[in-house]
Amino acid sequence: MSGANKRFAPACDRNRAPILSVLQDCLPPSGHLLEISSGTGQHAAAFSSVFPGLQWQPTDLKENLASIFAWREDVQCGNMAEPFELDLAEYQWPLKRYDAMVCINAIHIVPWALVERLFEGAGLTLKPGGCFFVYGPYEYEDRPLEPSNRQFDEWLKARDGESGIRRFEAVNQLALEHGLVLTEDRSMPANNRAIWWTKDSL
């Protein structure tokens, strides 16, 4: 059953080590972490084993949960929780508070309205001092898109007019509106960015 449901994304293998190096700088050593849009489950399986003090909660759309379950079954990592369904378009954010949130390669995929919902959720569910980490490509007002990202942006928009590489400044404004303070914006391989915010303690 595990092998039949387990999906594999080559990009997850390529970016796993660079992302992990940043997560080791920004995630708390213990507590509860909520991952939004866990995809195949590869990242949750890989990262949860490196952070044994963090209870890693993967989530995604219903049709993606079987693969996450399969990866969880394979790694047998006690701190990787069973995934649950989270559709940003419909999800009612829980009263439970998390110490950290992670969202990898989703902001340029989902419509802008769901990016807004994502940051609303981060503001509601993160504990004061909690970390919200995102990874992916971004555009900046003071410099043009890199050629590879320009091609990727065109491909995204041709596939779905509501997706596309987001302006960092617009995303950061959303963060500010929900009580999240920019902590660091770090350059990553293949013209990606690792960005994280801290929930305001006030």
Residue range 125-166, pLDDT digits in tens? 999 999 999 999 999 999 999 999 999 999 999 999 999 999
- For residue 5, the model assigns a pLDDT of 83
- pTM value? 0.94
Angle in degrees, CA 178, 54, 133, rounded to 5: 35
Contact 58, 35 (CB under 8 A): yes
Q: Please say if the pLDDT value at position 80 is more than 90.
A: yes
User: Residue 105 has which token pair?
Assistant: 């390669």
Rg (CA), the chain: 16
Which structural domains are found in the chain, ordered by start? 2-199 (3.40.50.150)
Assess whether pLDDT exceeds 70 at residue 177: yes
- Does residue 153 contact residue 145 with C-beta atoms inside 8 Å? yes
**How would residue 2 be classed by pLDDT, with cut points 50, 70 and 90?**
low
64 pLDDT more than 50: yes
- What pLDDT was estimated at residue 59? 96
Q: Hey, what are 31's tokens?
A: 């507590």
pLDDT tops 50 at residue 1? no
Buried b (16+ CB within 10 A) or exposed e, 15-50: beebbeebbeebbbeebbbbbbbbbbbbbbbbbbee
